[in-house]
């Protein structure tokens, strides 16, 4: 069974790692890995291949930065040639980035069976590019692998046939559980001069947060208050870095004594950082899941989440981007009243094993 796997951005690499590992060990599967190059530099791409022992991709389209329309078009053009040449039995796409949608569309047009890993997640906010990518990919997928019960419910409501949907757990947690011990051996936290539970972590990258002056300013004003109570480590995403300069916020932020800006970090360093933190402030979907698995309090700086299980039984709280609420909930955690969470069902490190079993069964092997 020839399976062609499409990845393009750092969340994809984390999710594909356990799947590729199991495919390579299976004598009945021939895996092919295509990196679109949507994320292409060392901090956002190559370091993840190194940290997660992902093999060198068989193809790298190197599309790089561009507006979404041109980026998706370039990826589709490149994948069309590869799919026609390789003639895979199945295409696998993961997550909700531009590479996910591009891979799904090309597979559909060439009548190649398509599997979507992390299907059914919904924020119901169509201003999010990721929501469009998720919904469109799910509509044309033949096999849909869900991480949580709400995703299964969403897919059924949208008219997806029950026989196409599989609740398998979360491949991102497979990776976390495999590398947690190695991450804890990383010297990164000590190099920053930090003691466990003595700091918080911030990540910001979504356009609705960093591309709007007033919204970004409000989050930074909240951060200014919070950092007076606890040290905050901020691995700055390239998009946020650009907007800090664009809006003239950089000097202000660098003047906050208890806030430390660092470059984007690799997977092991980030896992080490969040697992030893007091709490996390983020607009990342993946970090909502990782903090729930690690039982680290998480405040999501968004109006919604497509991962409701992290709120229902996990450690996550959706606080929006208003200064007062961000500060209030942060101080609540610092006051010893952090939300306690449980591990969601099937987040046990075996999701990739379940996925491979379904792929083989549906292909008759």
Domain residue spans of the chain: 2-169+347-362, 179-334
Beta strands per DSSP E along the chain: 2-7, 30-35, 59-60, 90-94, 114-117, 143-146, 165-167, 199-203, 231-235, 259-262, 279-282, 298-300, 316-318
The residues, any chain, with a CB within 8 Å of residue 268's CB and separated by 6 or more, are 51, 179, 182, 183, 186, 188
Which token pair is 349?
């490190």
Active-site annotation holds for 237: no
Domain 2-169+347-362 has CATH 3.40.50.2000: yes
The confidence score (pLDDT) of residue 145 equals 98
2-169+347-362 shares its CATH topology with 179-334: yes
Angstrom distance (rounded) from CA 280 to CA 203: 8
Where does 179-334 sit in CATH, by number? 3.40.50.2000
pLDDT tens across 127-139, in order?
Answer: 999 999 999 999 9
Residue ranges of the chain whose pLDDT lies below 50: 42
Tell me, what's the pLDDT at 196? 96
Catalytic residue among 111, 205, 237, 363: 205
Q: What is the pLDDT of residue 267?
A: 93
Buried b (16+ CB within 10 A) or exposed e, 24-47: eebeebebbbbbbbbbbeebbbeb
pLDDT for the residue 23: 98
pLDDT score recorded for residue 46: 79
| pTM score of the predicted model | 0.94
173 half-sphere exposure, CB direction, 13 A CA radius: 25
Burial 101-123 (b: 16+ CB within 10 A, else e): bbbbbbbbeeebbbbbbbbbbbb
């Amino acid at each position: 069974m020839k399976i062609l796997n499409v990845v393009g951005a750092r969340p994809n690499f984390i999710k594909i790692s356990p799947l590729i590992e199991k495919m390579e060990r299976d004598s009945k599967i021939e895996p092919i890995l295509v990196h679109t190059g949507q994320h292409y530099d060392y901090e956002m791409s190559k370091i993840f291949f190194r940290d997660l022992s992902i093999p060198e991709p068989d193809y790298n389209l190197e599309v790089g930065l561009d507006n979404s329309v041109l980026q998706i078009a370039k990826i589709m053009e490149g994948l069309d040639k590869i799919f026609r040449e390789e003639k895979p039995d199945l295409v696998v796409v993961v997550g909700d980035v531009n590479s996910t949608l591009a891979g799904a569309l090309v597979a559909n047009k060439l009548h190649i069976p398509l599997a979507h890993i992390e299907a059914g997640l919904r924020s119901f906010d169509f201003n999010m590019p990721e929501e469009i990518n998720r919904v469109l990919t799910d509509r044309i997928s033949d096999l849909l692998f869900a991480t949580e019960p709400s995703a299964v419910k969403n897919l059924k409501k949208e008219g997806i046939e029950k026989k196409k949907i599989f609740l398998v757990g979360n491949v991102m947690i497979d990776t976390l559980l495999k590398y947690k011990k190695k991450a804890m051996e990383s010297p990164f936290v000590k190099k920053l001069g930090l003691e466990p539970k003595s700091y918080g972590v911030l990540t910001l990258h979504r356009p609705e947060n960093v591309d709007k002056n007033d919204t970004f300013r409000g989050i930074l004003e909240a951060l200014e208050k919070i950092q007076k109570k606890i040290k905050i480590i901020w691995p700055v995403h390239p998009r946020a870095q650009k907007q800090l300069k664009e809006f003239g916020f950089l000097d202000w932020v660098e003047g906050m004594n208890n806030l430390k800006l660092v470059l984007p970090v690799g997977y092991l360093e980030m896992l080490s950082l969040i697992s030893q933190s007091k709490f996390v402030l983020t607009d990342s979907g993946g970090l909502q899941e990782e903090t729930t698995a690690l039982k680290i309090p998480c405040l999501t700086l968004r109006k919604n989440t497509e991962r409701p299980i992290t709120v229902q039984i996990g450690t996550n709280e959706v606080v929006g981007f208003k200064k007062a609420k961000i500060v209030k909930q942060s101080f609540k955690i610092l006051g010893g009243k952090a939300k306690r969470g449980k591990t969601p069902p099937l987040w046990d490190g075996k999701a990739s094993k379940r996925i491979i079993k379904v792929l083989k069964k549906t292909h008759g092997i």
